[in-house]
Structure 1
Amino acid sequence: MNFRVIAVTLCRFPNHGLQNLKKECTMFTGMIESLATVKNLSLRAGGGELFLDFSGFHDGLTLGESIAINGACLTVKEISGRMVSFDISGETLKKTALGKLQHAEKVNIERSLKMGDRLGGHFVTGHVDGIGMIQGKKQSADQCTMSFSVEKRLTDMMIEKGSVAIDGISLTVVDLADGLFSVAVIPYTLTATTLGFKKVGDPVNIETDMMGKWIKKHLANIQEKKGGITREQLIEQGFL
């Protein structure tokens, strides 16, 4: 059997301007660039507004730019010196832990990937799948093993040694069970990201690897067809 690399279309290319193209093709790597400080979070019916202090990281920021805040893709609304604000939709508040942010709390920030950039982590979309809870932190000489509880639907899209984004940080799954998984965090990541501050019981944003989502969807489509997998289906999908 010959295996073919299946290309997944990550971006749609509309024919109505480069600005729309930019917004629909935003991607991240899960490599955190800096930390920002929460100055204010204003919640209202149907959404909210987040104000962050981008001290030391605000040069070159532009209005409309996409930035991952704890792994959630948000759009720069206003810039005033090093103060940057973002609108948060009701859907984002429902799917992420952003609504629980407190004054002076630190958040992970990453600017969107540009063509030609090094991909140090994995492709992260900034579309959070759900919220997890820290279940344990076990420190050793060279790393910290952290365990998380999540909905089973999320662990169904993970594999051991696969990638997962936790608060926007690209990490590798170590152990995996239904509704539980663990990762190994090196000392640098603990000092350079919010995971060093997080405690057992704290919520985190979880984004599973997009390849796991595509595979799960593909298998579900095959299972819906009666008679199992046929030779014709394998040929159609490029496996034969």
Structure 2
Amino acid sequence: MFTGIVEEAGTVRDVTATDGGRRLRIEGAEVTEGLERGQSISVSGVCLTVEEFADDWFEVFLASETVEKTYLGEVEAGDSVNLERAMAADGRFDGHVVQGHVDTTAEVADVREVGEDWEYEFAIPEGFGKYVVDKGSVTVDGISLTVAERGDDTFSVAIIPETHAVTNLSEKEVGDPVHLEVDVIAKYAERLLDDAGFEVGRKEVLGAPEQ
């Protein structure tokens, strides 16, 4: 589990294509401190397993499903990615519950500089609008953010200078892809409501009295 508080923006150092996917070597001085093989790292919001590492780099493997469902299948050497190690059990929980399981890929719709801050607007992919609410939590490229405004088919977030400096958002332009993970609590709530609806429907079909 992650918190969505990005530790640093790392750089893809090398990409190797294999029969089953892609292997990335990523440079990151902070996240490699105390790193161990087999640990999880969020790479722009995608939970991946460390296979090899050294003082300032680590390697992860992208299975075919990850290549197909995320834009990591398109990154090349020199590209910037957001990095966060898995949350420590005794650490502060400064963001929100982030699983590292990307739901979909969205697109940057607009970037606006507002004083010292920035506003980023993202297009909401079809079928995901119900999970995005005003002032709700959302994860964009592994960054825990609050929805500032919800439009008909877009949502916007406010980016403070620190987030702009530490993450790869500073390199994103209109049309660029981003990974989107909606709040898992919303998905659990949807499942509970679906199950409740199913039970009510089943009782009505069987002629059972309403509770």
TM-score, normalising length from structure 2?
0.90
Give unmatched runs, 5+ long, in structure 1.
1-26, 233-240
Q: Name the structure 1 match of 2:169.
A: 195
Distance in 2 (CA, whole Å) between partners of 1:169 and 1:205 is 10
Once the two structures are superposed, the pairs formed by residues 146-165 of structure 1 within 5 Å of their partners are 146-165=120-139
CA 1:219/1:77 → structure 2, altered by over 3 Å: closer, same or farther?
same
Once the two structures are superposed, the pairs formed by residues 14-163 of structure 1 within 5 Å of their partners are 27-163=1-137
Aligned partner of 1:127: which letter? H
Aligned partner of 2:170: which letter? G
Distance in 2 (CA, whole Å) between partners of 1:231 and 1:111 is 49
CA 1:184/1:193 → structure 2, altered by over 3 Å: closer, same or farther?
same
Distance in 2 (CA, whole Å) between partners of 1:92 and 1:57 is 21
Kindly indicate whether the alpha-carbon contact (under 8 Å) linking 1:155 and 1:177 is maintained by their aligned counterparts in 2: no
Instruction: Report deviation, 1:56.
Output: 4.7
Instruction: Report deviation, 1:45.
Output: 3.7
Does 2:143 align with 1:169?
A: yes
| Misfit runs of 4+, over 6 Å | none
Cα deviation per residue 1:153-172 (whole Å; 9 max; x = unaligned)? 22211211000010000000
Q: Aligned-pair RMSD on alpha carbons?
A: 1.7
Cα deviation per residue 1:130-184 (whole Å; 9 max; x = unaligned)? 1010000111114211111132322211211000010000000122245421111
Give unmatched runs, 5+ long, in structure 2.
none
Equivalenced residues, count = 204
Aligned partner of 1:30: which letter? G
Kindly indicate whether the alpha-carbon contact (under 8 Å) linking 2:131 and 2:182 is maintained by their aligned counterparts in 1: yes
Instruction: Report deviation, 1:192.
Output: 0.9
Instruction: Report deviation, 1:196.
Output: 1.0
TM-score, normalising length from structure 1?
0.80
Distance in 2 (CA, whole Å) between partners of 1:161 and 1:120 is 16
